Structure 1
Amino acid sequence: MKRQNYYDRPRKTVEMGMLVLLKKDIYTGAVGALDGTLVHAVVPIDQQARYRGRGKGVCYQNVLAICDFDMIFTFVWAGWEGIAHDSRVLTEVAFNPNSGFPFPPQDKYYLCDAAYTNTRGFMTPYRNTRYWLADFRRQRAVTKEERFNHVHAQLRNVIERAYGVLKARFPILKQMAPYPFPIQRDIVIACFAVHNFIRKCKFYDQLFMDFDENNMFASEEQDNGNEQDEINGVEWGPQGNEYMANLRDHIANQLFLNASN
């Protein structure tokens, strides 16, 4: 099945609130956040097994998106089966010559969660270490890895908030109408486009105001599947993996040193 995308050039990073870290020679390479989200889908009975995402009985399509730090989506690819792992979706889309996937410049990267590979262009948190924002509400970060993960989660949360605005504005994304699947996919893309239009035109919008608040964190979708098996199958290349591992360690050391001073 042919999948479609909506792509818009990234805007300049907006320096606001906790995102001041982006301009302090720490996360200067971050140009946005990347993540997948599940959107309700209506499919024929003989296809439902492929769309029952992440062990749930409801059918979904998996949508991959990138947003900048102003909650504007810069890339959207809709139409994947709900059962597809986020890492697999990214790999297929990124290396599809027809997708128009916007690889970041050589020294830049997207912030991603642990479902993805930590490699050049894609920075993920340390694995087997506290990461989700809720994990730090009772106990602050202690180690340099936890400090890195906490700040990474705060910055990457912009895409969770952007998804929160999107789904709050368009209830059809939670309860899709029974149109043919290609139309369902196009509806998803249209919702992203309208979201961007409202944000770019700087209309007074209560939803954006609510989710702009630094202390308001959208629900964080966590994949309960076996992520490691999927990640090991992605061939990004050892040099890219080593480069990003070293950069992540460098940032973690900077954050830990700053916190100690």
Structure 2
Amino acid sequence: MSQKSVSTFVARVAAAIKDIAALHIKFPQPEREAAVMLAFPIYANMPGCIGCIDRTLIPIRSPGGPDAEVYRCRKDYFAINVMGVCDASLKFTTLVVNWPGSAHDSRIFNESTLCHHLQHMGYKGFLLGDSGYACSSYLLTPFLNPGTQKERNFNASHIKTRNCIERAFGVWKRRFAVLGIPVRTKLAVTQDIIAATAVLHNLAVENNLLPDDNDTILENQEEDFTYIHQGARQGQRRRAEIVERLVVTDSPITSTTSENFLAAFSTLSAAFCAAS
């Protein structure tokens, strides 16, 4: 089979899988977020989390044209800056693949449909993200300079829980090595390939096909501190509320006790919304 035929079939298959992405990469609706909250505390007792967010760079060849340099990332290669959100099972619940490598994480999130939904659709839970994002009532970041033991406990729980998205990226890239090399396809086809492999990743998770050693697979990327911003007062206040109610134990919360955390968090969310 000729290279041209292979490229044509790859493009067609990737596009076909991408077209059903909305069926397999779905952020939970507000009425279904409770089940997602119940899953996260098993890692580090973090109550109220409905997703972990981060970005990963997917290398590409230069797309050419007058705007090619906007795809050059800060690590000095051409890339697509992919925003991902995952749940506690490492399934992607959101994936944004249409931003160039030079785009900042916070801008990608702020202009996303997910951000709009979190602001206006009545979610009680929140995302966990690194300090590349502003702290808000719906996206909590760690303390840059924790001053109390409770704040240090929050940061430790935050890091262990947010580790999910790094593991998700790591498993995804290990399963699909094509994501680690500059694919010699047109930009639109490359974006379709990224989305298609994420759909296949989710299907693998749903069918318990994760690698046996997935706990050791981590995305190796530097923390992004180029957006040092502790966020709006509302976000800081909500984080402070979680800090005061975070329970530190020698072992993670089990499924039999996580329902108590959900009930407590629902009370906290209602109080927060009433005060806002």
Matched, 1:144 2:150: yes
Q: 1:96 to 1:113 in 2, by over 3 A?
A: closer
Matched, 1:121 2:138: yes
Q: Which residue of 2 aligns with 1:133?
A: none
Matched, 1:185 2:162: no
Aligned AA (2:227): E
- Partners of 2:172 and 2:244 lie apart in 1 by 36
1:65 alignment partner, one of 84, 88, 96: 84
- Partners of 2:248 and 2:196 lie apart in 1 by 45
Flag the structure with larger Rg: 2
Q: Which residue of 1 aligns with 2:233?
A: 242
- Partners of 1:125 and 1:72 lie apart in 2 by 23
- Larger helix proportion of the pair: 2
Deviations 1:76-120 (A, max 9, x none): 1102110111001111224898xxx66674321111111111112
- Partners of 1:96 and 1:247 lie apart in 2 by 17
Matched, 1:77 2:96: yes
- Partners of 1:80 and 1:73 lie apart in 2 by 18
Aligned AA (1:185): Q
1:19 alignment partner, one of 12, 23, 43: 43
2:112 alignment partner, one of 93, 96, 108: 93
Deviation at 1:68, TM superposition (A): 0.6
Q: Which residue of 1 aligns with 2:126?
A: 109
Deviation at 1:187, TM superposition (A): 0.4
> The residue matched to 1:81 in structure 2 has which SS?
coil
Unaligned runs of 5+ in 1: 22-26, 131-141
Residues 153 and 248 in structure 2, CA contact (< 8 A), matched pair in contact too: no
1:53 alignment partner, one of 56, 60, 73: 73
Residues 40 and 161 in structure 2, CA contact (< 8 A), matched pair in contact too: no
Instruction: Tell me the TM-score normalized by structure 1.
Output: 0.73
Q: 1:218 to 1:116 in 2, by over 3 A?
A: same
- Partners of 1:172 and 1:198 lie apart in 2 by 17
- Partners of 2:68 and 2:192 lie apart in 1 by 19
> The residue matched to 1:80 in structure 2 has which SS?
coil
Name the % identity.
26
Deviations 1:195-242 (A, max 9, x none): 001111224x4x2x312x3xx3624522456313xx59xxx8xxxx33
Aligned AA (1:73): F
Deviations 1:165-214 (A, max 9, x none): 001111111113211100000000001000001111224x4x2x312x3x
Q: Which residue of 1 aligns with 2:264?
A: none
2:175 alignment partner, one of 169, 178, 189: 169
Q: Which residue of 2 aligns with 1:218?
A: 218
Unaligned runs of 5+ in 2: 1-18, 251-276
Q: 1:95 to 1:144 in 2, by over 3 A?
A: closer
Structure with the greater relative contact order (CA < 8 A, sep ≥ 6): 1 or 2? 2
Aligned AA (2:234): Y
Deviations 1:133-154 (A, max 9, x none): xxxxxxxxx7322221111010
How well do the aligned residues superpose, as a CA RMSD in angstroms? 3.1
Q: Which residue of 1 aligns with 2:205?
A: 199
The number of equivalent residue pairs is 221
- Partners of 1:257 and 1:154 lie apart in 2 by 13
- Partners of 1:171 and 1:257 lie apart in 2 by 39
Larger deviation, residues 35-44 vs 250-259: 250-259
Instruction: Tell me the TM-score normalized by structure 2.
Output: 0.69
- Partners of 1:176 and 1:162 lie apart in 2 by 21
